[in-house]
Copies of this chain bind each other. A is one copy, B any other.
């Protein structure tokens, strides 16, 4: 976004704010309906009606429809990859990068300590709806090559090192791996510890 498009007090600024408001209304309406009736029993027409907007407007803002509305407030693919790159930047070693990723995940989704009751209900809806579960997993997996390259930069290795592609993929599956557990943070910690020290300790 350039400074001219969203500046307050300009027409462009008002348009940007109005668009953001419409997005928020659609996301709020979708989540309200999903939590009340379940994901599969809610239509895009119902969501548009609840948000007092047209179905065409819904699809203009959320081309992927219902799935994307569940994840409405979460970062898009590029932002997600960038947040992972930022998390490991400057760590200088795989040991430190894994610790940084542990901290990164602790503030997110299932691993948060301070999620609101509504966030908890939304996370439970995602975990229990196979289509949303796959969607969430793919969102993380789509960051594989960028996380692998970021890890390689910290470790002083080539960006496409298969060994670090594996590590990136494994880290990005932790949210899905932990989703069914009573204690997702415990699984996060256990798996990060194992990725650091291995499953066959030498001592």
CA distance A187 to B191 in the complex (A): 21
CA distance A174 to B173 in the complex (A): 14
Q: Given A169-B173, A170-B170, A173-B169, are A163 and B197 neighbors across the interface (CB < 8 Å)?
A: no
Q: Which residue of B lies closest to A184 (CB)?
A: B162
Q: Write out the residue numbers on chain B whose beta carbons fall within 8 Å of the beta carbon of A187.
A: 162-163, 166
A194 within 8 Å of B (CB atoms): yes
B177 adjacent to A190 (CB under 8 Å) = no
Counting every copy of the chain, the complex holds: 2
What total of chain A residues lie within 8 Å of the partner, measured CB to CB?
Answer: 28
Q: Given A170-B170, A177-B162, are A202 and B194 neighbors across the interface (CB < 8 Å)?
A: no
Most central of A95, A181, A191, A198 by chain B CB within 10 Å: A198
A199 adjacent to B167 (CB under 8 Å) = yes
Known: A169-B177, A196-B200. 11 other contacts (CB 8 A): A98-B200, A162-B181, A162-B191, A163-B199, A166-B174, A167-B199, A169-B173, A170-B170, A196-B198, A196-B199, A197-B202
